[in-house]
């Protein structure tokens, strides 16, 4: 395959990755009532089918970017698809609410590796060609809103004509293709020496999760209740610890300056 042709095939695949990552935030919407009856979710707990993915994705995104820099973007891109594959299988086979949420957390963790490594790979492929880079970024950027819109439609179609587990089975063949195609399509990126701020990643993820948990439960518990205020205080404290960790780190996940 010619090098130029391979670069554009690789871009299409990176755009597809962005499409799938964002689609996973919206594709479960129509299926939630059926999942609630099948898996025994409480009305409050049902929102965590969405929140578990988003919190894991957002909370681990900084760590995913750091791992991509240290271990190589191509390697982390493939690893993200492996984790997404495992999470999708767990979510599809889930027979209880706890197992379903575990699958969603794994999917979010996989997305947190895929998204930053995909952007790094795009820059490696097109960074030396400014005109092509503009086109590549436009296509890559358009994939995100397209994924969010398509997720609502596909989720409804799959739930209506098949069943909600097929929402997650959809990711299995795509993940397998991505894992197989990555070595052939994606450029190799060198690993670098450095440290991984695991403590910072844990603190920010836990802080986000606890804050979201408090907000989701506030309508039932009451905004002024001890449970809500305690959870909010805990979440804010963890985010404060995250900032303190970043200030102390020589190579932080987020440069506070």
Domain ranges of the chain: 3-190, 195-257
pLDDT at position 99 is 95
pLDDT by residue, tens only, the chain of 257 residues: 445 678 888 888 899 999 999 998 889 888 888 999 899 888 778 888 988 898 888 878 888 888 888 888 999 999 999 999 999 999 999 989 999 999 999 999 999 999 999 999 999 888 778 888 888 889 888 998 998 888 888 888 988 888 899 999 999 999 999 999 999 888 888 777 767 778 888 888 888 888 877 887 787 788 888 888 998 999 999 999 999 988 888 777 777 77
Phi/psi region, residue 233 (left: phi>0; alpha: psi -120 to 50; beta: rest), is alpha
pLDDT at position 254 is 74
Which residue do the tokens 């197992």 mark?
Answer: 99
pTM of the model: 0.87
Options 1.10.150.120, 3.20.20.70, 1.20.1250.20, 3.40.50.11820; which CATH number does 3-190 get?
1.20.1250.20
pLDDT at position 112 is 92
DSSP letter at 162 equals S
Which residue do the tokens 């090098």 mark?
Answer: 3
pLDDT at position 2 is 42
pLDDT at position 74 is 92
Distances (CA, A) of 61 to 40, 67, 109, 117: 30, 10, 8, 10
Per-residue H/E/C for 67-128: HHHHHCHHHHHHHHHHHHHHHHHHHHHCCCHHHHHHHHHHHHHHHHHHHHHHHHHHHHHHCC
């Amino acid at each position: 395959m010619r090098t130029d042709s391979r670069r554009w095939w690789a871009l299409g695949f990176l755009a597809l990755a962005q499409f799938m990552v964002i689609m996973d935030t919206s594709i479960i919407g129509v299926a939630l009532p059926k999942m609630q009856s099948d898996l025994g979710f409480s009305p409050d707990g049902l929102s965590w089918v969405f929140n578990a993915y988003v919190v894991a994705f957002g909370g681990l995104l900084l760590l995913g970017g750091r791992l991509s820099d240290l271990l190589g973007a191509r390697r982390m891109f493939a690893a993200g698809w492996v984790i997404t594959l495992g999470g999708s299988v767990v979510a599809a086979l889930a027979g209880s609410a706890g197992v379903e949420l575990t699958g969603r957390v794994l999917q979010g963790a996989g997305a947190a590796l895929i998204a930053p490594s995909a952007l790094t790979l795009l820059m490696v492929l097109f960074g030396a060609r400014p005109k092509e880079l503009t086109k590549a970024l436009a296509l890559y950027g358009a994939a995100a809103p397209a994924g969010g819109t398509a997720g609502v439609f596909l989720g409804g179609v799959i739930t209506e004509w098949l069943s909600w587990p097929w929402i997650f089975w959809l990711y299995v063949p795509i993940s397998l293709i991505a894992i197989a195609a990555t070595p052939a399509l994606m450029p190799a990126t060198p690993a670098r020496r450095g440290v991984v701020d695991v403590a910072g990643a844990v603190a920010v993820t836990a802080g986000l999760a606890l804050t979201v948990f408090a907000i989701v439960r506030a309508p039932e518990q009451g905004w002024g209740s001890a449970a809500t205020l305690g959870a909010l205080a805990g979440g804010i404290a963890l985010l404060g610890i995250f900032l303190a960790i970043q200030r102390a780190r020589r190579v932080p996940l987020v440069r506070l300056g």
